[in-house]
Structure 1
Amino acid sequence: MIWHSIGRLEDGVMRHPVDGESWQKFDVDYPDFSSEPRNVCVGLAADGFNPFDNMCYLHSTWPIVLTTYNLPPWLCMKESSFMLALLIPSPKAPGMDIDVFLRPLVEELKFLWQSGIRIKDAATTTFFTMKAMLLSTINDFPARSSLSGWSGQGYRACPTCNEDTPSYRAVNKVVYIGHRRFLDADDPLRMSLKFNGQPETRPAPRHFTNEDIQEQLGRIILRKPGKHPNTLKENMDRQGFELNWSKRSIFFKLEYWSSLQLKHNIDLMHVEKNVGESLLGTSMMNDKSKDTSNAREDLKNLNIRRNQWLQKKGKKVVDNDTNIIGLKSHDYHILMQRLIPIGVRALLDKETSTPIVDLFMFFKKICSRTLKVEDTRKAKEDIIRILCKLELIYPLTFFNIMIHLVLHLPYEPNVGGSEYMRWMYPFERYMKKLKNYVRNKARPEGCIAEGYVAEEALTFCSMYLRDVNRLERNEDVVIEKTKFWMFESKC
């Protein structure tokens, strides 16, 4: 539990959240908490899943899982380090009203931060007051919107770019193009007319500090939670000065939350999956393709790429039945880093294949278990040019918000530590385990809670009896130890 204090190597390599700027700044801002290395830093993961094998039954169960970041990297993301802190039962996803269910957990976190709890250190056989804090959350993008309060839809969908999100209204949707804004002011690519027929003179989006966010949150109009007939229209009509804020997150009730540099992580797993799905679908012209008649109409409206203008009517420019179904996030992770680059080089010309392969190599670098600060800075420069090159190849509708979020992935390891400590892969596998607890389809949440508690109790019992000498055959000793454990558990 004190590995983060005594096991960290200050060699400029990021292996753990303690190597990130957010944790280090927190230690400086709150020295009373950081002076006790046994105080606990936790991460929170929330996501919904259907507990039934038959997807025809619409039901969304939301477990809230905590993981302990005090532990070394090889233990943080193990199932043995996960705690099922909350289980939200509902036929539908809680959405923006998730704060109602999170209130008991937040109250416990406030108590653990302010007062703490007196416990015994088994290693030194001494008592101390242990406190805890929430370092960040790990979610897919829709769940991130529900927890943070920043809506991931519309012209300002990017939570990092905030009100400076580069967006454009296409024929039937909002797309996120104009990544030349992120280039240096004197970069020659800014003057190119191939993108939209105009040079790019806008400055890069601003960096919004915690003080800026607090000022924006102070302008939000307070609304009742839930979907009530009298307040539904009121909740939907967001004022312009509110930007994309739908609420003030309940996590701001935590004293330290507003000072954290990285509150909500962008989940690389879901970004990688959506990017891979869009690339495969558009390249193979299947049902997931972004190259539609409306996409070609956008090019005509902008008067660019005349050779790609639509010549005949139809839903798709090319009708192809080739489709890939049943691929999961893990499959796209393997495809993008190993198999697709080989096929892209073989089938596409160099001008088209080079930025695609560079994008896959970017994901491979970011997914590394060890990252250097220099590598992330170089990756940030590379990904801007990669997205600019892709804007010259793919239709505008290809650039949804998930494509844009790739731009911010190199920034987060410097602040939050290595990426593999902040993605959803281990939590998705853990939710599969929770799903296997369901035996009674009428009470899925009850089955999950019962299975979790039973396994926790058996694990605790086995750990307690681990110190029994295996060579000792005296059954009375084992019985007495078991009775003592049962007495302690009741207390």
Structure 2
Amino acid sequence: MWYLNPIDRLRRIFANPAFAKLMRWWYYERTKDEENLSHPADATQWQRFDELYPEFAKDLRNVRKYTMLCGLIQGPKQPEIDIDVFLEPLMEDMAKLWNDGFKMTDSLTKEDFTLRGMILTTINDYPANFSLSGQIKGKSGCLSCLDATTSEYLDGSKKVVYTKYCRFLVEGHRYRRKQFNNHFDGKDEKASAPKRRHDSKHVFDMVRKINICYGNKIKRTKPPIEGVPFKKQSIFFK
């Protein structure tokens, strides 16, 4: 694996005055709009984090984003849930950035400071999301419903589809009427949509007791814990 150390990359960023200035852009120069999310700093997650860790929030140079592609994994196949093995170097460096920080020189202000960092969020496509989170694909593949997902296997197309669509409609919607049943799954839908279940606490409660051995290629027919739609506890929980 080719590992691109984020600490060295951040040091080079702050060695350039123009880039060092841009690292503060989100605070000084962005257009703030209370009604629209135009930057991650507008999100409640960012603001809540500032409340929980005010010392981190004091220095505008502390890093929460702008780091991309920290590793290139060679090989003809995807690592799938074994990707956690390749993420170990990144998590070790991020732990150092969070706990102790690293001495840097800010070329804009000509001063030394201790840079700290954290992972606010990740952006991935669906295959990468399932690899990182360990969520089981197929019948439990809805990212919002998780263990409340309803699905059906179609023998003809050999595909898994997600059913009970009408439960996401408001009560009394005309598409819930019997005359429209044939347009969906042919059944009356009385249930309401499940609550969004992808908050971190709910997920952690499900995966906290999962233990796996990475590299084990034994094919599983059932999840490690019955009723839990995850194969592992993501490395991001550690």
TM-score over 0.5 for the pair: yes
Cα distance between partner residues in 2 of 1:193 and 1:240:
40
Query: In the alignment, what sits opposite 2:95?
Result: 110
Query: In the alignment, what sits opposite 2:42?
Result: 19
* RMSD over aligned Cα atoms: 2.0
Q: Which runs of 5+ in 2 are unaligned?
A: 1-22
Structure 2 length-normalised TM? 0.79
Does 2:106 align with 1:121?
A: yes
Query: In the alignment, what sits opposite 2:18?
Result: none
1:168 alignment partner, SS class: strand
Which string of whole-angstrom CA distances, capped at 9 and with x for unpartnered residues, describes residues 239-260 of structure 1?
Answer: 562522011111112xxxxxxx
1:137 alignment partner, SS class: coil
Question: Structure 1 residues 13 and 192 mapped into 2: Cα distance closer, same or farther (>3 Å)?
Answer: same
Q: Which runs of 5+ in 1 are unaligned?
A: 44-65, 68-83, 254-491
Does 2:179 align with 1:179?
A: no
CA contact (8 A) 1:113 1:131 kept: yes
Cα distance between partner residues in 2 of 1:250 and 1:110:
12
Q: How many residues align?
A: 209
1:132 alignment partner, SS class: coil
Q: What are the residue-to-residue correspondences of 1:430-441 with 2, within 5 Å? A: none
Does 2:201 align with 1:218?
A: no
Cα distance between partner residues in 2 of 1:90 and 1:240:
30
Question: Structure 1 residues 251 and 210 mapped into 2: Cα distance closer, same or farther (>3 Å)?
Answer: closer
Q: What are the residue-to-residue correspondences of 1:248-327 with 2, within 5 Å? A: 248-253=233-238
Cα distance between partner residues in 2 of 1:96 and 1:175:
23
Does 2:187 align with 1:198?
A: yes
Letter in 2 for 1:180: C
Query: In the alignment, what sits opposite 2:6?
Result: none
Q: 1:85 aligns with which of 47, 58, 70?
A: 70
Question: Structure 1 residues 37 and 146 mapped into 2: Cα distance closer, same or farther (>3 Å)?
Answer: same
Q: 2:118 aligns with which of 128, 133, 138?
A: 133
Letter in 2 for 1:5: Y
Does 2:28 align with 1:6?
A: yes
Q: What are the residue-to-residue correspondences of 1:38-117 with 2, within 5 Å? A: 38-42=61-65, 66-67=67-68, 84-117=69-102
> 4+ residue runs of structure 1 moved beyond 4 angstroms?
none
Question: Structure 1 residues 90 and 40 mapped into 2: Cα distance closer, same or farther (>3 Å)?
Answer: same
Which string of whole-angstrom CA distances, capped at 9 and with x for unpartnered residues, describes residues 312-368 of structure 1?
Answer: xxxxxxxxxxxxxxxxxxxxxxxxxxxxxxxxxxxxxxxxxxxxxxxxxxxxxxxxx
How far off is 1:149 after superposition?
1.0
Q: Which has the larger radius of gyration?
A: 1
CA contact (8 A) 1:219 1:241 kept: no
Which string of whole-angstrom CA distances, capped at 9 and with x for unpartnered residues, describes residues 177-220 of structure 1?
Answer: 32211122232322244233332111211222332212101242
How far off is 1:236 after superposition?
4.5
CA contact (8 A) 2:207 2:228 kept: no
Structure 1 length-normalised TM? 0.40
Letter in 2 for 1:129: T
Letter in 2 for 1:197: G
Which string of whole-angstrom CA distances, capped at 9 and with x for unpartnered residues, describes residues 45-86 of structure 1?
Answer: xxxxxxxxxxxxxxxxxxxxx34xxxxxxxxxxxxxxxx522
CA contact (8 A) 1:119 1:127 kept: yes
CA contact (8 A) 2:94 2:117 kept: yes
Q: What are the residue-to-residue correspondences of 1:360-379 with 2, within 5 Å? A: none
% identical equivalent positions: 36
Which string of whole-angstrom CA distances, capped at 9 and with x for unpartnered residues, describes residues 417-438 of structure 1?
Answer: xxxxxxxxxxxxxxxxxxxxxx
